[in-house]
Amino acid sequence: MPIYEYRGITQKGKPVRGLLDADGFSGARDRLKGQGIYLQELRGIGGGRRKKGLSLAFLTRRSVLTSVTRQLSFLLGAAIPVDSAFEGVIDQAEDSDVKQMLVDIKEKIKEGKTVSQALSQYPEYFNAMYVSTVHAGEVSGKLDLVFDRLARMHERSQSLVSKLRSSLTYPSLMIFFAVLVVVFLISFIVPTFSKLFAEFGGVLPLPTRILIGVSNLFSSGWWAILLALGVAAVTLRRVYKSERGKRSFDSLVLRLPVIGRIVLDTFKIRFSYTLGLMLANGVGILEALENTRGVFRNIIFKNVIDGAIDRMKKGEKLSRALSHDAQFSSRGSGRPTHVFGSSFLGMINAGEAGDRLPDVLERIAASTEVDIEERVKTLTSLVEPVVILIIGLFVGFVVLSIMLPIFQVNQIFG
């Protein structure tokens, strides 16, 4: 339904303003009149809720979730009632879809639903882990503390993603411009010289023939190359959608040198932060693991958590249940590689023994986050000279291929 912003006066003469959703202007007026509010201004600020769009993009959802959680944490920490806290967050929202979502959540809370029940109506923003943690906070009476912990976890996650993205931006730009240089040389420079060499006749050197052949392929068969790339992309997408294809792809990513280790460490960080947060707020271990599983898309990680859940249902401790996680083979060796290393499991075991598992998980995540930042910095520092070397070798090959026939011509006419 459309969302409207109103300003008016109550029967006691108190000025009020806010947001509500209604079928139309007349519906909004009737609803406010029923609440005893005399309207001074009413205007629409958005259409119906969209299922898709920029506001529901992954990165935007992450940013919105972090912002909303932090604002709710601050307002609830100031002993403001829940519905008033949502009203304050609504005033700060800029996106119309987000405003409508928050208005709907506030209305459901005023109708008697709990915060977790209202949030669960928007799973694209608030996943099962988030809702379960909020529910635990409602039961324990520490809702403000729960939102503060959720805000800190999402801020850490967003910070890690931002650091990784900024570290990879420069190498990505270098590779992009390197590809542009290669395409420009092959498509425009080389054909000019190939016409010149054809006028002299004779047998051209092997590097020159190779270069001219590649140039002709790109010049005359570019449509075939684009078609082949399109077919390959569609085929890979279909294969990835199948369970077997997804498992093979996810396993391949983990076997890649350097990149696989970064993906694995990122999983450990998100696993530790998410599970530790839920346990710290009173969520049961099995429910916490179930909701943590839903955070990930990699089928290898999902299978690891599923196996741990099955073993814990049989009475095993978490550290013991996670130790049976050999799911993929290390590259070239064929030996099983564990998702969780011995040091990780040892710290989990110590946390269980000392009844301090949430604190231990948070420390594991923090230390792993430092390690992955250093690893990414090392990777990016190595990518730059490698890209420069590849570009240099190609440009050198092009120059050599062009100069060799020129030397031959000089020898003939010299």
User: Mind listing the pLDDT tens digit for each residue in 17-28?
Assistant: 766 666 677 777
SS3 state of residue 237: helix
CA distance 391 to 397: 10
Which CATH number is associated with domain 1-48?
A: 3.10.20
Compute the distance between CA of residue 342 and CA of residue 271 in angstroms, rounded to an integer. Answer: 16
Q: State how far the Cα of 49 lies from the Cα of 43, in Å rounded to an integer.
A: 17
Distance from C-alpha of 269 to C-alpha of 249, rounded to nearest angstrom: 22
pLDDT band at 200 (very low <50, low <70, confident <90, very high): low
Q: How many residues does the chain have?
A: 414
pLDDT of 21: 66
| Per-residue confidence (pLDDT) for residue 327, from 0 to 100 | 56
* Residue 329 confidence (pLDDT): 52
H helical segments located in 185-327: 190-200, 206-220, 222-241, 243-255, 259-280, 285-293, 299-313, 318-322
3-state secondary structure of 11: coil
State mean pLDDT over 225-232: 88
Share of residues in the chain with pLDDT > 70 (%): 86
Give yes or no for residue 232 having a pLDDT over 70: yes
Q: CA–CA separation, 76 vs 148, rounded Å?
A: 9
pLDDT of residue 325: 65
The strand pairing partners of 328, in sequence order, are: 337
State how far the Cα of 190 lies from the Cα of 399, in Å rounded to an integer.
Answer: 10
For residue 192, the SS3 value is helix
Extract the tokens encoding 155: 């801020």
- H helical segments located in 78-142: 82-92, 96-110, 115-119, 128-140
Strand, coil or helix: what is 202? Answer: coil
Of 97-101, 106-110, 200-204, which range is least confident?
200-204
Q: Which fold has domain 163-414?
A: Receptor-associated Protein (1.20.81)
Residue 325 to residue 338: CA distance in whole angstroms: 6
Residues of the chain with CATH 1.20.81.30: 163-414
Q: How many CB atoms lie within 10 A of CB 66?
A: 20
Q: Is the pLDDT of residue 231 over 90?
A: yes
Query: Alpha carbon of 317 to those of 290, 308, 324: distances in Å?
Result: 16, 9, 12
Amino acid at 359: D
Token code pair at residue 348? 């989990």
Cβ 87 vs Cβ 17: under 8 Å? no
Report pLDDT for 360.
92
pLDDT given at position 313: 92
Write the CB contacts of 100 (distance below 8 Å, at least 6 apart in sequence): 1, 3, 21, 46, 48, 49
Examine the pLDDT at 55 and tell me if it is beyond 50. no
Tell me what pLDDT residue 310 has.
Answer: 92
Who has greater pLDDT, 371 or 16? 371
Residues sharing a CB contact under 8 Å with residue 48, sequence separation 6 or more, in sequence order: 1, 2, 100
Q: Which amino acid is at 118?
A: A
Which of 99, 128, 165, 65 shows the shortest CA–CA distance to 376? 165
Please count the other Cβ atoms lying within 10 Å of the Cβ belonging to residue 61: 16
Return mean pLDDT, the chain: 79
What per-residue string of b and e applies to 241-277 under the rule 16 or more CB within 10 Å gives b? eeeeebbeebbebbeeeeebebbbbbbbbbbbbbbbb
Q: Give the DSSP letter of residue 290.
A: H
Domain with CATH 3.10.20 in the chain: 1-48
Report angle CA 242, 245, 251 to the nearest 5 degrees.
Answer: 135
Lowest mean pLDDT among 58-62, 249-253, 307-311: 58-62
What are 313-361's pLDDT values in tens digits?
998 999 889 887 655 555 444 555 678 888 888 999 999 988 899 899 9
Q: Is the pLDDT of residue 196 over 50?
A: yes
0.85 exceeded by the pTM? no
Nearest Cα to 90, choosing from 117, 78, 109, 72? 72
Cα(399)–Cα(111) distance, rounded to whole angstroms?
75
pLDDT for 165 equals 76
pLDDT of residue 48: 45
